Structure 1
Amino acid sequence: MNARILATLVAGAALLAVPAHAEEKTTGDKPAAAADYQPNSATKRFTGTFGGRTVNYTATVAEQVLKDDKGTPKAAIVTTAYVAEPRDPSRPVTFLFNGGPGSASVWLQMGAFGPKRVAIPSDARDDGAPPYPILDNPDSLLDVTDLVFIDPVGTGWSHVIGDTDPKDYWGVSQDAKSVAQVIRQWLNENGRWNSPKFLGGESYGTTRSAAVVNEFEGGYNDVSLNGVILISTVLDFAAGAETEGAELGYITTLPSFAATALYHGKAQAHSVEQFVEEARQFAIGPYAAFLLKGQKASAEERLAVRHELARFTGLSEVFLENADLRVTSGRFYKELLRDRGLTVGRLDSRYMGKDYDNAGEHPDNDPSFYGIDGGYTAAVNAFMRDTVGYKTDRQYITIGGVNDWDWRLKGGRDTNAYLNVAPYLGRALRENSGLRIYVGQGWYDFATPFFAAEYALSRTGIPQDRIQFHYYDAGHMMYVRDEDRTKLSRDIRDFIRNR
């Protein structure tokens, strides 16, 4: 399994609110060791207009304390909840998180669905230096659902308590168990057990979503869901692995190469939709057959495949031949615009960067990540601390707060083969007739390529009639593009309404 793929699956978010009157309370950090640990929290009321509807709502930033069987506090996971007033137990509630693993929910919260968002350039330019505009977000989903953003242990302000080892929470199954526990506690405390429930994640957050679904619906003590929202999906990690001898990743990445080449003028087609469909068919047809034959492929097959690869990727046949007709994504980022002295982004290949020099095989950095991170970090701290009034001396960790992640699945088949959580969703769909799945993918996303998501969710055992795909003209965090943020909001709003 490619360590770089596993380590850097990221995502993003939006929120803030119009100034208002209000009930306001806050408690400071307490010592993180005592058995009588008191959770930190802050609450404030606001009013905003979302989806054309004016909504009064309460913003609550609060630590959800997880305890062991003896009642000893083990971890404090921070949730940020936006709940419409007056409260309605029959109103939908949506639980959201980002990925990483090790990413806080700042991206989805301050970029897409919260009541405020940070404004960064919509046209794939760097976000520059502060101050960053923090704007009302009419694309927030608060008109149709209450929202609860979750920061797992090691992200945001979430932390272990006392001598608890944070690694107890750093793994596919361990993380899912803790997030499921947080959601159960929130339902208890807010009287929302019979509310329509939606679960949503971005990037590794989609992996987490499937694992949490398994925690909820894999036994008999169910938390039944109405819908799962997958944004920039990664479920089957073999589908994108760039490892010697593994061929599937070249197949699932090719349509993303084609979309990017077309965007930057290195290929010709009438539309991105038409071109990626041609690339899909070539990838699963002649290209897949060629790769599976390995060194037994004929010279004629090799020549035909090389010619088509050049057309789809915008790369020269000489370069393709030198790469043995197997181009890794890192090489593509560096090579596509080498003649212009530029690289393209991984999270969003619309972004272009300038390296120290034009030599080498891989970019110095990802211009689509350093092009957005400053604005989000500033906005989440300004809103939570200064507007809502959450008092803490802790640093807000946007991404990178975990290590030594345990990628093994607990229980289940093929534990020692490769990580694939898609079967969790297949089982849930088979056993919950009211469950539906929304999948949102950007054409220009190499962290979680759209064709890999399509592949993972089309496997046997996964009912197809309640899965819907939507595509966007941006990358991993499609909501950084204004038009796509509005489309994403509209698509998910319809998904929730049509439960």
Structure 2
Amino acid sequence: MHLSAMAAASLILLFCCYQPEAIADTEKPPEKEVYVRYTRCGGQEIAFQVTLESFAIAAQGMRPAVDIHVWRYNRIPENTDLSDPAQRATLFAWSGGPGASAMTLHMGLLGPKRINLQNSPDTGDPLAASIEDNPECLLDLMDIVLIDPPGTGYSGSTDKDNLQYYFNSDRDAKVLADTISQYVKRYNLWRQPRFILGESYGAARAVKVTRELIQQGLPVAGMILLAPHLFYSCTDNVDALCCNWNLQSYAVTARYHGLSAESAEQNINLDRFLNTLKSFSNNTYLPAMINGYKGQHQYPESLSQTLVRYTGMTEQDFQTYGYCPSPTDFIESTLRNAQIIPALKDSRFHIPFETYTGARTLINPIILINQTYIPLFNEYLYSELKPEKEQPYISFNPKILSDWQQLTGDTMNAAIDDITASMMAQRQLRVLALAGLYDLQIPFRAIEYVLSRPGIDPSRVDIRFLPSGHGPYVDEDGLIAVSQAIRSMVTKTLSDH
């Protein structure tokens, strides 16, 4: 998507006239500091400090302010000179939602401690998990700032109506951008490289925040998008694009579980399989679906045979679902034909047929993971970090999700516009997107589609497909893959700067 001359002029005018919506009290001191020595981060011993800090952010003319809390992990300089801004970056990160705190990123990927789930994803049992050192943390490379959006963690307001004012995508992005802006001011980090990381819906938030920061004159070196939700939902959508994206996710899932003819070819390289699948899907299946939606509704017999071969579904299934099964239809088919029930957010997990009770909504490994994380995170929080807080830490606030007011318009087009504008305004901005092959809610090909639109510079975009689901770092292999991908991107970006 290319910006018109008028749009480009508007962008320049916006840079000249932009005023942040929020104001902040930058004199508020940090609330808690804990000094810890950690041994093994990026293969070296480092010392770091963790600080719970707050920033009072208020929309213009509104009081009281919303109080945004962040967890700041910063390395304590020893023999290495970290005073040069070019030698030390900061990563600002948040989870998804809306309504989620930064808990899973805190204890799953970015913090110096992590929760090892072991066998607990299948049970949600915290006794099966443990807290341990996180050798894949990134503190040797950059400081980590984990932000809890309004209504999550300790971030809140004494005025509930005031808090709800921020429950939409634009105001939410302004609050987080202004929090980062005030953080930069507090520590005089104007020239220090900064990275933005968002997970799931938090990736759409990251795209908006990046544009806000650039408009405020704060460059962003890179965006890191984990299982990014950058487009309209394909969970029950039946347009041709979603049909095409979903089909490829079904085929990967069927291959994993041994449900399709392709499963017999497991020795074939996964990348080769994905390329062959993409070619069929884009060149044969998608045109057939587009023509079908024009009213013809007649598909060649060879098409249905190939679909059966890839997905393990039956020809009758495809006829019933109009050759475009939704993820729910695919799950119903595997239940009926193979007697297993793959999970929507991570189709590697499934409940055996003999234990099925009909409650498919419970088959959600992400919910089970959260049930495990919450008690262990609180154990770490109150035994080691010991914040001076009377109120409980809100790991997830379901009311925010129910109250959330999305602005009108297509989420996908808004994300494309934001990324395009940011890349045009800042020629060194890089994007790393990590998608799970077994995520039926956010199909991996949809992420590739969004980030390959005209106007988005492909030379500055790195898209990687991981053998994971919606939580790409919750298992050991996923943690290593995600950490190494981020480390590679940050290192290359800093060397270019």
For 1:27-64, what per-residue CA distance to the aligned partner results, in whole angstroms no more than 9, with x for missing partners?
A: xxxxxxxx9x9788221011112011111111112222
Q: Indicate the residue corresponding to 2:249 in structure 1.
A: 256
Structure 2 partner of 1:476: 470
Which residue does the alignment assign to 2:334?
Answer: 336
Which of 288, 291, 296 does residue 290 from structure 1 map onto?
288
Deviates more, 1:334-343 or 1:437-446: 334-343
CA distance in 2, matches of 1:364, 1:68: 38
Q: Quick check: 2:232–2:412 contact (8 Å CA) kept in 1?
A: yes
What amino acid does structure 2 have at the position aligned with 1:223?
Answer: L
Matched, 1:42 2:32: yes
Deviation of 1:488 after TM superposition, in Å, equals 1.3
Equivalent residue in structure 1 for 2:365, among 365, 368, 377: 368
| CA distance 1:482–1:429, shift in 2 (3 Å) | same
Q: Distance in 1 between matches of 2:460 and 2:150?
A: 32
The match for 2:223 is: 228
* One-letter amino acid matched to 2:184: L
Rate the CA distance shift 1:294–1:152 in 2: closer, same or farther, 3 A. Answer: same
More helix by share: 2
State the 1:143 CA deviation.
0.8
Report the Cα distance in structure 2 between the residues aligned to 1:124 and 1:273, rounded to whole angstroms.
27
Secondary structure of 1:159 counterpart = coil
1:125 is matched with which residue? 122
Aligned residue pairs, count: 455
> Match of 2:36, as an amino acid?
F
Q: Pairwise mapping of residues 66-465 of structure 1 onto structure 2 (< 5 A)?
A: 66-69=57-60, 72-86=63-77, 88=83, 90=85, 91-121=88-118, 125-130=122-127, 132-162=129-159, 164-217=161-214, 219=215, 221-237=216-232, 240=234, 242-243=236-237, 246-267=239-260, 268=262, 269=265, 270-294=268-292, 301-353=299-351, 363-399=360-396, 400-402=398-400, 403-408=402-407, 415=409, 420-465=414-459
Kindly indicate whether the alpha-carbon contact (under 8 Å) linking 2:199 and 2:227 is maintained by their aligned counterparts in 1: yes
Structure 1 segments of 4 or more deviating over 4 A? Answer: 37-40, 68-72, 295-300, 354-360, 416-419
Describe the superposition over 1:138-177 as per-residue Cα deviations: whole angstroms up to 9, x where unpaired.
Answer: 0001110100011101222211233542221111111100
Q: Give distance in 1, aligned partners of 2:353 and 2:58.
A: 48
Aligned pair in 2 of structure 1 residues 355, 192: CA closer, same or farther (>3 Å)? farther
Q: Confirm or deny: 8 A CA contact 1:76 1:161 kept in the other structure.
A: no
> How far does residue 392 in structure 1 lie from its aligned partner after superposition?
2.5
Normalising by the residue count of structure 1, what TM-score does the alignment of the two structures yield?
0.84
Q: CA, structure 1 residues 250+319, in 2 after alignment: closer, same or farther (shift >3 Å)?
A: same
Please tell me whether the aligned partners of residues 93 and 195 of structure 1 are also in contact (alpha carbons under 8 angstroms): yes
Unaligned runs of 5+ in 2: 1-24
Q: CA 1:385–1:41 in structure 2 vs 1: closer, same or farther (change >3 Å)?
A: farther
- Residue 155 and residue 366 in structure 1: after superposition, are their counterparts in 2 closer, same or farther (change >3 A)? farther
Among 45, 53, 71, the alignment partner of 2:44 is: 53
Shift in alpha-carbon separation, 1:320–1:121, aligned structure 2, 3 A: farther
Distance, in Å, in 2 between the alignment partners of 1:72 and 1:183 is: 20
2:227 match: secondary structure? strand
For 1:81 and 1:421, how far apart are their aligned partners in 2?
28
Secondary structure at 1:319 match in 2: helix
CA contact (8 A) 2:438 2:467 kept: yes
Question: What is the deviation of 1:302?
Answer: 4.0
Per-residue deviation, residues 426-468 of structure 1 (Å, max 9, x unmatched): 2211221111111111111122221000000111111111101
- Does structure 1 retain, via aligned residues, the 8 Å contact 2:120–2:128? no
Contact 2:91-2:143 within 8 A present in 1 as well? yes
* Structure 1 contact 60–80 (Cα < 8 Å) conserved: yes
Q: What is the identity, as a one-letter code, of the residue corresponding to 2:32?
A: A
Structure 2: distance between partners of 1:359 and 1:487: 35
CA contact (8 A) 1:74 1:164 kept: no
Separation in structure 1 between the aligned mates of residue 182 and residue 344 of structure 2, nearest angstrom? 37
TM-superposed CA distance for 1:122, in Å, is: 6.5
**In the alignment, is the contact (CA less than 8 A) between 2:235 and 2:327 conserved in 1?**
no
Question: 1:337 and 1:164, CA in 2 relative to 1: closer, same or farther beyond 3 A?
Answer: closer
1:169 is paired with a residue whose SS is coil
Take 1:179 and 1:47, find their aligned partners in 2: how far apart are those partners? Answer: 30
Structure 1 423/494 Cα, relative in aligned 2: closer, same or farther at 3 Å?
same
- The 2-side partners of 1:241 and 1:370 are apart by 18
Cα RMSD of the aligned pairs, angstroms, is 2.7
Q: Contact between 1:232 and 1:476, CA under 8 Å: does it hold in 2?
A: yes
Task: Determine if contact 2:285/2:303 at 8 Å carries over to the other structure.
Answer: yes
Question: Structure 1 130/306 Cα, relative in aligned 2: closer, same or farther at 3 Å?
Answer: same
Cα pair distance change 1:63/1:192, threshold 3 Å: same
Q: Which stretch of structure 1 is more off in the superposition, 65-74 or 156-165?
A: 65-74
- The answer to whether the 8 A contact 1:458-1:464 is kept is yes
Contact 1:408-1:416 within 8 A present in 2 as well: no
Q: What letter is aligned with 1:446?
A: L
Partner Cα separation in structure 2 for residue 213 and residue 265 of structure 1? 42
1:282 Cα deviation (Å)? 2.2
Three-state SS of the structure 1 residue aligned to 2:392 is coil
Which whole-Å CA distance do the structure 2 matches of 1:181 and 1:89 have between them?
Answer: 24
Instruction: Give the partner amino acid of 1:120.
Output: L
Looking at structure 1, the residues matched to 294 and 372 of structure 2 have their Cα atoms a distance apart, in angstroms, of: 52
Unaligned runs of 5+ in 1: 1-34, 410-414
Do 1:237 and 1:419's aligned partners in 2 also have CA atoms closer than 8 Å?
Answer: no
Amino acid at match of 1:488: V
